[in-house]
Amino acid sequence: MNRIEQFITERQYLQNATPRTIESYHYCLKFLPNENPSQTELHEMILALRQNGRKETGVNVVIRTVNGYLHWASGNDGRCGAGCHHPKLKKLKEPTVIMPTFTAAQIKALVTYRPKGEYRARLHLLVLFLLDTGCRISEALGVRVADVDLDNLLVKLDGKGRKQRIVPFSVELRRQLYRALQKSQPQTLVFATSVGAGMQKDNALRAVKALCRELGFEPPARTLHSFRHTFALNYLRRGGSTFHLQKSLGHSTLEMTRRYANLTTDDLTAVHSRISLLHSM
């Protein structure tokens, strides 16, 4: 077994990395020229990735994985820091992108939609669930009835890396959940099909896009993830802290959460009118 395979195996069996993470390790580490690359070889690897059209965000995924491997290969047990002298790569500067969100009018149209039929009702419940909790679509589709605490307005989510978290939901969502789940068994998926199988992400995406167009607007880019962006933006607009938002979104670092904090010019103008030192003079 070579060093790269050993690294991946240890991450799988000693750190319980998820199958998706293991798949990412295999993909990213295949770009290494050898098991013990020099700093020059690492820079040439990044240059080749960029010349082949890889975006900064994608290259940074490779860089994080490669740096993790290089730190492990150096024999250091602690976190990588200033005291480490093994080769490493600096992350590329990523362009600032305003993440797509639903507008206030679109949110109102989605919330006030009155579905007809069981399928439409469950689709509408999914839309409300995503808007109210800010969870990932994969987390929502994995929620079972037993995970929903209607009394305390809490739901347990299985997040990335097998990390569970409990997030609150509103009284308004509780009404919808109660109507939908009162006859369901504890281990039943909340967002199941008519035959009890789990709803697939691709099917959910098509259905949500069709609903948006039915309501008279074009769905934003990255439609299902836009619910998460919308939740985060409105959380901050209404006075929520970035630290609380980090816990709610299930981010391991605050840096991840800050990507969701791209307030609009109107938001900044509204805040400035309240805090300006000249306003009260």
**Of 43, 120, 225, 237, catalytic:** 225
- Tokens at residue 205, please? 């995406």
Tokens 């395979």 found at:
5
251 assigned to active site? yes
181 within 8 A of 173, measured Cβ to Cβ: no
d(CA 215, CA 210): 9
d(CA 196, CA 194): 6
Can you tell me whether residue 168 is helix, strand or coil?
Answer: strand
**Of 43, 160, 165, 174, catalytic:** 160
225 assigned to active site? yes
The DSSP code sequence of 216-236 is TSPPPSSHHHHHHHHHHHHHH
**Of 136, 144, 229, 235, catalytic:** 136
**Of 122, 228, 229, 235, catalytic:** 228
Q: What residues have CB less than 8 Å from 165, skipping those under 6 apart?
A: 156, 157, 159, 247, 250
Measure the CA angle with vertex 213, ends 212 and 216; round to 5°.
Answer: 95
136 assigned to active site? yes
CA nearest to 126, candidates 219, 199, 194: 199
CA nearest to 73, candidates 32, 44, 114, 101: 32
Q: Catalytic residues, which ones?
A: 136, 160, 225, 228, 251, 260
